[in-house]
Structure 1
Amino acid sequence: MATLPVLAEPVRITQDVDVRTIDLNGTTIVIDRIQDSENRLEGDFARTSRPCPPFCITPMTAAPGVVTLGELEVMDFLETRVSAGEGLLLDSRLPEFFSKGTIPGAINLPFATLDPANPYRDEILKALGATLTGTEWDFSQARQLAVFCNGPWCDQAPLAIRYLLQAGYPAEKLSYYRGGMQVWLQLGLSTHIPSGG
């Protein structure tokens, strides 16, 4: 008796969603999952154990009042906040990591640029929508930010969030994607290689 070939089931994002298509400033980004059910991670993101410090497990919450996001919420943030020009998805990793691949729709704002010692930090805060009157910051028009880095063992996003909070950025305008690139890749979700990467 001959056996029939097994038809491959699609690898969906959720039971009801195969793909997310999001318009960001006239550019369409597509987030789906790798359809090869045999796909495996390689390189640094496949490693389970690293020396701590510096690769210590981070808390689920980056700071009081800052919401922690999962992957579906990151996609929702892109579709609602970023596409409306109200928010930014910030990859807080160093440029050499960002250039190897990031979440579609993310921009690179390395955590160190938000350090109060950076002489250009005020210009960055202004670019995020804050205004400076004298010595007082006004964040009422500042964008909603969702910040991520390499994953649960990376402290760059929590540090970027702490720097923003120290500057006066409201916690309710910040969110933290703790899973970062490692979990995004483990789930086989789409990545984007920035030009020049």
Structure 2
Amino acid sequence: MTEYNISADQPVVEVLHHGNPVIIRREENPSATIRPEYAITARKCPPYCIQPMQLAPGVETLGELEVLDCLKRIRKGDSSLIVVDSRTPDWYAKGTIPGAVNVPYAQNMAGQATDLPGVKQTLTELFGAKEAGGAGDFSTARTLAIFCNGPWCGQTPNYIRTLLSLRYPANKLKWYRGGMQDWCSLGLTVV
């Protein structure tokens, strides 16, 4: 047991990241500080506007403990769920939540017509949707827990709005509003 538990009854969480086990824990160094890219407080709006707590009807907003629960469920074999890092590959390479899969909004959905091959490939191959008569069949689609850089980042809100416009079920979309900024501010493991 450590003094720096995630919660009173949860010292660490073990997840898989690219098939390898990773232990998520809180930072234990009292002099540790937040990563510089998340310490910036002056961000021009637009595009870096503070996002609402409730993004859309039916879309659940998650906190860190709920994201950790998603990761634990995936670790135990729940294939109906995926944690999606919607940031661009350069941000993903700087560090991500262990167990998250990088499916960048900007490269897969941003401004693309819904009939483009990249969008359909993401929806079917990764998210588990099916195509039925030119329309999406989301009955077998995975539940997505999506995040980006934080409460000021619009990538995930745009991603979710795009998915909703494609008729992805709102109850299968979860939004970790705090994103990497809140994850890092709590001293949680980054890979």
| Fold similarity call, TM over 0.5 | yes
Match of 2:3 in 1: 10
- Match of 1:114, as an amino acid? M
Report deviation, 1:81. 4.4
Structure 1 residues 150, 48: closer, same or farther in 2, change over 3 A? same
Q: Distance in 1 between matches of 2:151 and 2:145?
A: 15
Match of 1:69 in 2: 62
Q: Does 1:94 align with 2:66?
A: no
Q: How do residues 156-167 of structure 1 correspond to structure 2 at under 5 angstroms?
A: 156-167=155-166
Match of 1:130 in 2: 129
Structure 1 residues 42, 141: closer, same or farther in 2, change over 3 A? closer
Match of 1:47 in 2: 40
Structure 1 residues 81, 111: closer, same or farther in 2, change over 3 A? same
Give the 3-state SS of the residue equivalent to 2:101 in structure 1.
strand
Q: Distance in 1 between matches of 2:151 and 2:96?
A: 16
When normalised by structure 1's length, the TM-score is 0.87
Tell me if the contact between 2:16 and 2:99 (Cα under 8 Å) persists in the aligned partners.
Answer: no
When normalised by structure 2's length, the TM-score is 0.90
Structure 1: segments with no counterpart, 5+ residues:
1-8, 193-197
Structure 1 residues 140, 81: closer, same or farther in 2, change over 3 A? farther
CA RMSD of aligned residues (A): 1.7
Compare CA radii of gyration and give the structure with the larger one. 1
Structure 2: segments with no counterpart, 5+ residues:
none
- Match of 1:73, as an amino acid? E
Structure 1 ranges of 4+ moved more than 4 A? 23-26
Q: How many residues align?
A: 184
- Match of 1:124, as an amino acid? T
